[in-house]
Amino acid sequence: MTSHSSKSESTKVSYRTQPGEEGLFADVALPRLLVDLYRVRFSGALEIERGNTKKRIVFECGAPVLSDSNLANETLGMQLLDQGTITKDDHERVSSYMKKKKCKEGVALLALELLKPKSLFLALKEQVRRRVLEAFAWSDGGYRLTGPDEQDTVVASMRSDPLALIREGLISHWTPDRLLTDLTEAIELFPVRTKYFDEAQRRLAESDDITEVFNRIDGSRTLGAAIGDGFHSLPVLASLWILQAGKWVRFEQTAAGDQGASGDSAFDPIEIEVVAQAAAQGTTSAATDSNIQKGAGSKSPSNVAAGQMREQVLTLFDGLEAQSLYELIGVGIDATDREIRKAYFAAAKRFHPDALTHLGLTDIKNEAATVFARIAEANDVLRDPAKRADYDARGDGSGPDIDTAALARAETFFRKGEILIRMGDFRGALEYVQSAVKLWPDECAYQSGLGWALYKQPQSDPERALVHLEKAVELDDSDAVALFRLGMVVRAGGDNDRGSEFLARANALNPKAQ
């Protein structure tokens, strides 16, 4: 049985965070960073910054317990005013008392008897939650890890459940598309429980639908099959995202039966030994494992992908004026219509807005939009014989611009439908692939997806399926998946010879096509 992971170098790591370790949210999204810090039971401070906004979140054993923020609307007084706990007059009294006594809000609230100690404690806990959740919306900015500070007075009971907090942030600020994009690579793999799965389930399975999905994770079915109808549930997707990010499951390429908990998983949370330095050197804390060694922002494959994509977009953007339309999509001047079409869709999908958003590259969205529009123009010009001849003669692609917004929407719809098809939810996929075909009917993959969904849905419609699958093969007769699907539908309709012919062509192109 082949595991979809790399082996851990050690099951026990001693590591010491260094003051000044830092990274960018374009490389490591905040929720993933929070999961990593929880896994290693980090104690210290996470300083985050975006523009003029600065926050400091103090952690104790992986859980946020205290916070500071320079946002005026995140003060304790504004929070209580927003909740209706105090009035405007009360808030002004608190501000005056703070200036006069040079004290903090909490002290002023207690002194003016506007809050009792227990209520103040709950308000401070809620303040930490709100400040962390607000930062989930950040797609840019950066962070820095520091060791514990003696001035941070930590009360154990002030700890918020970090997993519940992360899930709340994902539900509030991430879309199902973004969560599914991260889960897509594992959809057809078999999730197996690791040693600490039960703890994660206890913390995350707060509803029957989440419990049902978690109970299906036993190594005998794919992640897509385990999700089932949960595909439409943000709490389910957010819980699974955390489960995957925290390495509380590992993924196998083949079914393993009922594995139960596995204590020798390469993804088990590692044991951390806190290494204290001499007082003269300061105090630091264990805050990283193999995923966040050398700082929580060390380069993971996704970080590398983001860096490579950024470089490609900016390089293309800078060279748009000098590059020909042929060079832009990577074909020769004698390329056939089919070669141009395939090169165009490959480039358009790579630089699609969803792909950039997933990688956290929103800061270059304008440059990427320009590149995307130019790629679309290349397709429009080079696939029109008259425009292409004019371009070849004069070097410009004059003519009406292609509807790049429609293409972007079509690709977004198709991606959603494709995930549902892979999960076996053909009825759910229909809405999305139909929308993709309506917006962009000349793409083989869209027509193929719609045809297959029509055929495989509970109330199969082979006649309509055949129309779209034949159209798909007409658009690209070298697409193995479209040929396979067409062969299956034709053969099921009774034409064994013709169906077998399509299946043989699909197998010759790609034996794994289906």
Q: What percent of the chain has pLDDT over 90?
A: 29
Residue 5: pLDDT band with limits 50, 70, 90: very low
More confident residue, 61 or 229: 61
What does the alpha-carbon distance between residue 94 and residue 109 come to, in Å, rounded to a whole number?
Answer: 6
Which residue ranges make up each domain of the chain?
A: 1-16+174-271, 18-146, 301-402, 406-509
Q: Average pLDDT for residues 455-476, to the nearest whole number?
A: 92
Within 10 A of 401 (CB to CB), how many other CB atoms are there?
10
CA quadruple 92, 94, 97, 103: dihedral sign: negative
160 residue type, one letter: S
> How do strand 53-60 and strand 271-272 relate by DSSP bridges?
unpaired
Query: What pLDDT was estimated at residue 354?
Result: 63
Residue 466 reports pLDDT greater than 90: yes
pLDDT at position 267, please?
A: 34
Give the type of residue at 487.
G
pLDDT number for residue 514 = 63
Q: pLDDT-based confidence at 155, cuts 50/70/90?
A: low
Q: Tokens 């501000």 correspond to what residue?
A: 95
Residue type, 480: A
Q: Are 23 and 297 in contact (CB under 8 A)?
A: yes
Of residues 399 and 32, the one with the higher pLDDT is 32
Helices 480-492 & 444-456, crossing angle to 10 degrees? 30
Write down the number of H helices and E strands in the chain: 23, 9
Residue 11, pLDDT score? 29
User: Is a pLDDT exceeding 80 seen at residue 247?
Assistant: yes
Give the residue with greater pLDDT, 387 vs 128. Answer: 128
d(CA 448, CA 485): 8
Q: Which CATH architecture has domain 406-509?
A: Alpha Horseshoe (1.25)
Q: How confident is the model at residue 20 (pLDDT cuts 50, 70, 90)?
A: low
Task: Decide if pLDDT at 302 tops 60.
Answer: no
Q: Does residue 297 register a pLDDT over 70?
A: no
Residue 215 has pLDDT above 90, yes or no: yes
pLDDT tens for each residue of 22-46:
888 888 889 999 999 998 888 889 9
Amino acid symbol at 260: G
CATH topology of domain 301-402: Helix Hairpins (1.10.287)
**What is the torsional sign of CA 384, 387, 393, 398?**
negative
Does residue 399 have a pLDDT over 50?
no
Using the predicted structure, report yes or no on whether residue 190 has a pLDDT greater than 60.
yes
Average pLDDT for residues 50-54, to the nearest whole number? 93
CA atoms within 13 A of residue 90's CA, in its CB half-sphere: 20
Which carries the bigger pLDDT value, residue 10 or residue 84? 84
Token code pair at residue 443: 């793409």
* The pLDDT value given to residue 468: 95
What contacts 82, CB < 8 A, 6 or more positions away?
Answer: none
- Asked whether residue 49 carries a pLDDT value surpassing 90, the answer given is yes
The predicted structure's pLDDT at residue 283 = 35
Output the pTM of the full model.
0.57
| Per-residue burial over 97-123, b = 16 or more CB atoms within 10 Å of its CB, e = otherwise | bbeeeeeebbebbeeeebbeeeebeeb
The predicted pLDDT at position 153 comes to 60
Q: Give pLDDT tens digits for 91-122.
A: 999 999 999 988 988 889 999 999 888 888 88
Average pLDDT over residues 379-408: 70
Give residue for tokens 């080079």. Answer: 382
The more confident residue out of 417 and 464 is 464
CA terminus-to-terminus distance, the chain:
23
- The predicted pLDDT at position 41 comes to 87
What is the token pair recorded at 136? 């989930």
Q: Name the DSSP letter for residue 3.
A: B
At a CB cut-off of 8 Å and minimum separation 6, what does 308 contact? none
Residue 355: predicted pLDDT: 67
The mean per-residue pLDDT over the stretch 184-190 comes to 82
Q: Are strands 142-146 and 21-24 parallel, antiparallel or unpaired?
A: antiparallel
b/e per residue 214-226 (b: at least 16 CB within 10 A)? bebbbbeebbbeb
Structure tokens at 6: 């790399």
Distance from the Cα of residue 180 to its chain's centroid: 7
- Check: CB of residue 195 under 8 Å from CB of residue 261: yes
As a whole number, the mean pLDDT across the chain is 79
pLDDT at 16 over 70: no
Stretch 270-292: mean pLDDT: 32
pLDDT at 191: 93
Residue 15: C-alpha distances to residues 12, 246, 275 (Å): 10, 19, 7
pLDDT of residue 260: 44
Count of Cβ atoms closer than 10 Å to residue 501 Cβ: 16
Query: What is each CA distance from 104 to 109, 161, 314, in whole angstroms?
Result: 9, 26, 47
| Pair type for strands 12-13 and 271-272 | parallel
| Per-residue b or e along 45-82, where b marks 16 or more CB atoms closer than 10 Å to that residue's CB | bbbbbbeeeebbbbbbbbbbbbbebeeeebbbbbbbbe
Beta bridge partners of 271: 12
pLDDT at 303: 61
Whole-Å CA distances, 6 to 3, 85, 197, 261, 493: 8, 52, 19, 19, 45
Q: CA 14, 17, 18, 22 torsion: positive or negative?
A: positive
User: What's the whole-number mean pLDDT along residues 419-442?
Assistant: 86
